[in-house]
Amino acid sequence: GAVVSQHPSWVICKSGTSVKIECRSLDFQATTMFWYRQFPKQSLMLMATSNEGSKATYEQGVEKDKFLINHASLTLSTLTVTSAHPEDSSFYICSARDLRNTGELFFGEGSRLTVL
Amino acid sequence: QKEVEQNSGPLSVPEGAIASLNCTYSDRGSQSFFWYRQYSGKSPELIMFIYSNGDKEDGRFTAQLNKASQYVSLLIRDSQPSDSATYLCAVNLDTGRRALTFGSGTRLQVQP
C-alpha cells in the first residue's frame, strides 16, 4: 500500500515553544492531506484538511492561528503547534488518500507531543 | 447521535473464536467504509474497505455492509492474541468532506 511518513515520532518541549511536525507521502502525490489528533483512549478527531497550494480547512473548534498548516508541495504537509501548552499534549497523526486505486486513507506513524 | 458509532468494549473472545465488531453510521448517503486496527501507542493501519452491500472476505477477515440498515461489521475468524487491539470503523460520509469520520473504536481482547 501507499506509504505516508511522519516526523518526528515523538517530541518533548517546554510550554510556550513551537513544534513542527512533517508529513510526507513517499510514493504518491497527495493534493490533500488530513491532520488528526487523538487523546488517550479516544478516537481520532479531524483537525484540518491540508490543501496543496492553498489554505487549510479547519474543523470547528480548532484554532487556525495555533495549529499552522502548510502544504507547499504535493508530497509534504507540515503542522506547527505554536506556543504549545500542556493541554496540547496529544498524538498527532497525518494521513493522505491514495486516489490511484480505491482511495483508502493511509496514516503516518504519528507524532506524540508532550508539552511540559 | 454520533455520525459513526461503535461499542467501546472491551470485547473479549477466546483464541480461535470468531470476533464480531459492529459499527453504525448516520448518513444514509455514505459510500465507502473502512476498518482500521490500532495497537496501543501506534498509528491506525488499514485492514479492509468495502463499498458494496454484502460480504467481502480477505483471509481471516470478513467485512459486511448493509446500507439499508446503515450497518457495517467486521468478522475475525480464528482470532489470535495478536489480534488484540482497538478496531476503528471509518466512513466517508456523504457530506462532501474528503476526510474519513471515525468511530470511537472497539477494544478487542483475545484470550490465549
| Residue found under cell 496543496 | A52
Q: What is the pLDDT of residue A43?
A: 86
| Residue found under cell 501507542 | B41
Strand pairing partners for B35?
B48, B89
Residues of chain B below pLDDT 70: 1, 94-97
CB contact under 8 A, B32 and A103: yes
CB contact under 8 A, A49 and B43: no
Tens digits of residue pLDDT in A65-96: 999 999 988 899 999 999 999 999 999 999 98
In chain B, residues with a C-beta closer than 8 Å to the C-beta of A43 are 88, 102-105
Over chain A, what HEC string results? CCCEEEECCEEEECCCCCEEEEEEECCCCCCEEEEEEECCCCCCEEEEEEECCCCCEECCCCCCCCEEEEEEECCEEEEEECCCCHHHCEEEEEEEECCCCCCCEEECCCEEEEEC
Of the two residues A49 and B99, the one the predictor is more confident about is A49
CB contact under 8 A, A49 and B97: yes
In chain A, residues with a C-beta closer than 8 Å to the C-beta of B33 are none
User: What is the percent of chain A where pLDDT is above 70?
Assistant: 95
Q: Is the pLDDT of residue A40 over 90?
A: no
Task: Please name the residue ranges forming H helices in chain B.
Answer: none
State how far the Cα of A103 lies from the Cα of B3, in Å rounded to an integer.
Answer: 21
**CB of A49 within 8 A of CB of A64?**
no
Amino acid at A9: S
CB contact under 8 A, A43 and B103: yes
Which of B30-46 are b and which e, b meaning 16 or more Cβ less than 10 Å from the residue's Cβ? Answer: bebbbbbbbeeeebbeb
Q: C-alpha grid cell for residue A113?
A: 507531543
Average pLDDT, chain A: 91
* CB-closest option in A43, A49, A109 to B43: A109
Q: In terms of Cα–Cα distance, which of A10, A21, A15 is closest to A88?
A: A15
Q: In terms of Cα–Cα distance, which of A12, A9, A42, A40 is closest to A23?
A: A9
